[in-house]
Structure 1
């Protein structure tokens, strides 16, 4: 069976209709500049090549970094992710962009594709879910179907790449989910991002061996042994609690509080000692390094560690002994940590508290809950008092507190979104946030001065040009931003956030400011955290779900137990460099998937509300229309061509559209009433139209 590219409009139970494609033309390299890079295709058929840059060998200017535009007719069979050689086309004098033709595919960037299977009697094909693989259906012989049926989500391995007008050919290696299966869409996205909810057998075997499970069905655990207690401070008689979300199962942080006779507070932050069970360079450790982080996707989790650890022996469940690494901090009335201690410990959590219950006690004076937890109610009041002090201190130094609404999506048993609401960020959430922040800061500073190998959390100052753009942007709202943009202080931005609080454009300004920031990352150098306004910062409090926390726990314990030799120091510096790089990449990858799943379910939700009207706020302006965000965080596009009451001009510098005849204006922060006109789940696109009053 031939596998040439076929007409999608004529998919029948016959041989496919082939498209006529000219044989690719080689480009003469005489006097033509060529550049190597990675191709990224767009769903509309064109692509961009990101040039390969090696500044150590050959420093390049900003112009040479610019992506090269590749028209669809000039792709010459290259697929998304391919490493290619591009021949640059002659540049127009007034053009700021570069354009080229793909002359050669050096190496293919993809070996397998996730998509939807469609079959006929004698052949089948997989339509990629990733829209970067535009018009690149993969031809599959009947012998390579692997029992897949039409509509199933599958993985297809590429066995022949497209060339000379032929489409790619592959064989199905995995059926991810059957057509109509609940949660199948999310499973397919997880697989598309090359992530896995299950673990290799050797990892599961190691997890089972160290998790001390006596009876799997009852999840009973062997008690902590006398040997494991050695060298640890026994805190089991201390009142220690956890506060988490109601659905959380991986409880990795617990807290304790005391009011001292001198008026200071003694805050204890006790973190699960995951490194006790995850042996360095063991199967679990290597898998955790590879994963880098746990990923949270609406109704499911892709854990960094097997559940036997994350939900079992490492989870700080109530009424059981658990091994921990503790930070004890004496904090004065100004929020200053006047002394601290970091040590190995063993705890026995008194209560597994949830955010809503603690918040109800503090915000609503819920008598039934106060009575139920009368043994810890005084501690909870003390925690609030200290959290307020810590928050005030952060506020004074200019720590940025972006108060974004986050979506809380509820799915039914079939995986269909039934509600999209804003998640509440209540007082209990803020208490835990403040306590974890101060613990992370204290640990980072302690080990910075010890000059130990470490992994820090770094957030660099924003680039001057981005701050200049933001300054110009807020001027449109009548806001004058103070300070030198070349050396902006976070307090300037913090004050601006307070200025817009409560305004209709608050969320817009918050969003644009956040986009002006650089992304935080992990590094072995302690270069400060701009957003928090601190010099020393790390991630210490979540070793169950973040690898940087896990590796620094291992280092901290080695130092506590007697120090690190020169040889070990060199070894750990190499390991921390690797962990920093891989964890930063894994975090970005996880965030992309989390956003994609959220967009998928939001679009699906709106597909059940076509024709309905909602109030929203204009959250973004482009030359082709403006975006409107609803109170539940769902965002849709009002296309300029749908504004049929006038012809509207786009004024980019003023972030608005203005009618030529009516002078009617649509600008950022405006409240508008819209009607849902379209929701394309495959493309994650939602269209609104203005509902005239």
Structure 2
């Protein structure tokens, strides 16, 4: 590429500013001779692909003078979509201004007048096409066939009968665009995969995995490494340099169906101090830097969980076997040993490579029964000899919880679901996921170990991957203040730079009041998303200066990363050498881990929505009592006691003219009937779309 010619093109178009230049004018001003025409065109194509120049209305412009921004199409909805700019800003784009762009496309966006506070724009140029894969449902209209896409602008996309392959009407399919048109309905497409009935959740979940590039299977190279490690097992030669804790009272506490058990606990009290041990599977001992396993773990970033399925970060030979802290077998671990005062302060900590022998696979429900004195004889026998430790754990956890609330950590309520599948793999029940005392215990102990890990890295001043949670942004704080004021809630201290205890106080003061669900929802929406970062900026929600994630290296890559750093410190490697080795590595790890976590969370939610819709398909026509969970321009969302959420469209509200306050309420101007977040409401399930994960309700008078 002729760099001198590129500089000339940039210079001349910048000088032309908003008037632009024709092809002939630009060529002349750059001194392009006839034999250079081909090279000149190549430079123009290169700069256009980089988003530096734009060919518009037979003129060339430098994008700096057109108020254009380059970004990536991140989402497409029914009649609109979003483009994410390089700085992370999300721009709303109405469907008519999309130019047929697809998720993953690199585009240039021009700003348009916004109807609200968020920026809006139109796509003026598609610079680079993404893979353009999408899923949808095969439909028929007369003699013609079309795909109704999922999560795209809802233009039906025609497809020729000869391209249907084995797909049947109503099947979930994955498609690829073979030829681009000027709008979504003009694209030429073909089916690349057929999954079966689109009203079966398992088919829809598999389609979601595939279109998001999530591979369930591992390569032969990765499997071979994992099998060799598992086959070798644990040998005495592995014990060198490790603390032997096999005679200590150490055991795991997890769900009954958990197979990838990566943490075990020990606790004793010496004088006025608690000695807490959190023993984590030493995954970094097996997964070496540069190995096929390591590269695979980096790409996946995290395990993905939905319904009864797990897409693991590491093969089951590791995650369910040699790295899983199963009972009655020797396992290699990385132990965080903490000394905690009677008032719950972390007095001292140490990290050691170790070996443990778990006494029992503890189960949350069983231990909860012990702690509330409702256990049966079989539970007593299983946990014989562990009672004193369990009640000591409860004692310490209560102190740690009290401290967390005392720091001002907001107690925000969220709803999680437990999906029950029948023998055929279809949804037979949805239950709210509850937390008992043992779940809280483990959470508090993991938080303490994570705090110790971050503190160790800061103390030694070595590169690390921190779990950070920034304070709410100025826009979110302003929105929260406006909404609370409209509710009549005193909120003078809701302002930029506020401490977490301000939000905690808002929630606590509203408990028991009718406005509590609204306040809880508003505070939740004001929160930033937690992420991974190489800079320890603290965790706003937990009110901690030092926080990382040390406790799940089987299923989270950032945990595996910090195990490597801490392993070097345990070996006695000087901080300067640790810094030289990991300084760039932790930056890459933090960014990749944040990206894969966000993708996994979105995918898990979409899959679970399909399973919930599958369950409600069995209950169409039935009536339910629910709570209004949120409101939107298109209707009100109602959550049932089992955590299933559905939409009452405005058209399915009782007859009348409605006013929407754009915050938390609809009001019928004819009857003065209000529909407000937190209100109880009776609804009837009227339709379900498993493929889209949508459930529609109507109100019942």
Aligned pairs for 1:380-391 (under 5 A) are 380-391=390-401
Matched with 1:78 is 101
Matched with 1:127 is 147
Are the aligned partners of 1:678 and 1:688 in contact in 2 as well (CA < 8 Å)? yes
Aligned pairs for 1:80-479 (under 5 A) are 80-86=103-109, 102-116=123-137, 127=147, 129-132=149-152, 134-135=154-155, 137=157, 139=159, 142=162, 153-162=172-181, 167-169=186-188, 173-175=192-194, 183-212=202-231, 222-260=232-270, 262-368=271-377, 369-479=379-489
Going from structure 1 to structure 2, the CA distance change for 1:559 and 1:210 (only over 3 Å counts) comes to: same
- What SS does structure 2 have at the residue aligned with 1:105? strand
Gaps of 5+ in 2: 1-54
Measure how far apart 1:185 and its partner are. Answer: 1.7
Distance in 2 (alpha carbons) for counterparts of 1:136 and 1:109: 20
Aligned pairs for 1:632-651 (under 5 A) are 632-651=642-661
Going from structure 1 to structure 2, the CA distance change for 1:636 and 1:68 (only over 3 Å counts) comes to: closer
Q: Do residues 483 (structure 1) and 516 (structure 2) align?
A: no
Matched with 2:72 is 38
Going from structure 1 to structure 2, the CA distance change for 1:509 and 1:125 (only over 3 Å counts) comes to: same
Distance in 2 (alpha carbons) for counterparts of 1:627 and 1:337: 43
Matched with 1:12 is none
Going from structure 1 to structure 2, the CA distance change for 1:465 and 1:385 (only over 3 Å counts) comes to: same
Q: TM-score with structure 2 length normalisation?
A: 0.84
Are the aligned partners of 1:458 and 1:528 in contact in 2 as well (CA < 8 Å)? yes
Matched with 1:545 is 555
Are the aligned partners of 1:42 and 1:134 in contact in 2 as well (CA < 8 Å)? no
Gaps of 5+ in 1: 1-24, 55-64, 213-221
Matched with 1:5 is none
Q: Greater shift after overlay, 383-392 or 599-608?
A: 599-608
Are the aligned partners of 1:273 and 1:324 in contact in 2 as well (CA < 8 Å)? yes
Are the aligned partners of 1:272 and 1:322 in contact in 2 as well (CA < 8 Å)? yes
- What SS does structure 1 have at the residue aligned with 2:630? strand
- What SS does structure 2 have at the residue aligned with 1:678? strand
- What SS does structure 1 have at the residue aligned with 2:619? coil
Aligned length: 642
Distance in 2 (alpha carbons) for counterparts of 1:47 and 1:263: 59
Measure how far apart 1:595 and its partner are. Answer: 1.0
Are the aligned partners of 2:462 and 2:578 in contact in 1 as well (CA < 8 Å)? no
Are the aligned partners of 2:279 and 2:336 in contact in 1 as well (CA < 8 Å)? yes
Measure how far apart 1:71 and its partner are. Answer: 4.3
Aligned pairs for 1:578-593 (under 5 A) are 578-593=588-603
Kindly indicate which of the two structures has a greater share of residues assigned to helix.
2
Q: Greater shift after overlay, 555-564 or 644-653?
A: 644-653
Q: Greater shift after overlay, 103-112 or 525-534?
A: 103-112
Measure how far apart 1:154 and its partner are. Answer: 4.5
Are the aligned partners of 1:116 and 1:151 in contact in 2 as well (CA < 8 Å)? yes
- What SS does structure 1 have at the residue aligned with 2:496? helix
Matched with 1:680 is 689
Going from structure 1 to structure 2, the CA distance change for 1:336 and 1:376 (only over 3 Å counts) comes to: same
- What SS does structure 2 have at the residue aligned with 1:84? strand
Measure how far apart 1:476 and its partner are. Answer: 4.8
- Describe the superposition over 1:502-556 as per-residue Cα deviations: whole angstroms up to 9, x where unpaired: 4455444323211101111111111100000010000000000000100111111
Distance in 2 (alpha carbons) for counterparts of 1:569 and 1:98: 41
Measure how far apart 1:268 and its partner are. Answer: 0.7
- Describe the superposition over 1:88-133 as per-residue Cα deviations: whole angstroms up to 9, x where unpaired: 67x69x998887665443211124334456799xx99773653226
Q: TM-score with structure 1 length normalisation?
A: 0.85
Measure how far apart 1:297 and its partner are. Answer: 0.8
